[in-house]
Structure 1
Amino acid sequence: MYIEARIPLVCTYDSDADAAYIYLDHPLPAGETERVLPFEPERGMFNLDLNADGHVVGLEIIDARRHLPPALLHALLAHANPASDTN
């Protein structure tokens, strides 16, 4: 069975660290992340955050400018500085 759902996601971007975070559970309760599972260290740093039940609650993307789709990065940057968005 294939099911498609379109739901809004909460994403943040830290330009100083060039890191993005995609929340799969928002807001994350304090102490919700039980374990961080890094993957793809050869091509960049990606971290899956898991809760105590083993559910993925978020995804951290380091070197986000290189790895995020341009439209998502543009939306994050435009949201951070609405005056810079000319569309």
Structure 2
Amino acid sequence: MTEVKVTYDKSVDAAYVYFTEPQVRARSAHMYPCAPVDVDGMINLDFDEHGRLIGIEVLAAGSKLPEYLLKSAERLDADDI
């Protein structure tokens, strides 16, 4: 099974799901925001210069992502989940 890197900052309740290889530092060339009304929060899709999806930023992540995923995510804050 392929592992996907996920980071989470509980202090701002934001998570990022990476779709790039761990050693690759891809830069976002285009961000597509999903309509907040449609998802009851904010989800941003990041694409590279070739139009490939490189990651998803999830705001209000605590209510959008499964708890097991947030617990296993790399923490960017000092708080515990």
Aligned length: 75
Pairing partner for 2:29 from 30, 34, 40: 34
Instruction: Decide which structure has the larger Cα Rg and report it.
Output: 1
1:14–1:38 CA distance, 2 compared to 1 (3 A): same
- Whichever residue aligns with residue 52 of structure 1, its letter is E
Give the ranges of 4+ consecutive aligned residues of structure 1 lying more than 2 Å apart after TM superposition.
Answer: 26-30
Structure 1 partner of 2:17: 22
Aligned to 2:17, what secondary structure does the other structure show? Answer: strand
- Of the two structures, which has the highest relative contact order with CA contacts closer than 8 Å and spacing of 6 or more? 2
Kindly state the Cα deviation for residue 15 of structure 1 after the two structures are TM-superposed: 1.4
5+ unaligned residues in a row in structure 1: which ranges? 1-5
5+ unaligned residues in a row in structure 2: which ranges? none
Structure 2 partner of 1:65: 62
- Whichever residue aligns with residue 16 of structure 2, its letter is Y
TM-score (norm: length of structure 1):
0.73
RMSD in angstroms over aligned alpha carbons? Answer: 2.3
TM-score (norm: length of structure 2):
0.78
Percent identity of paired positions between Structure 1 and Structure 2: 33
Structure 2 partner of 1:47: 44
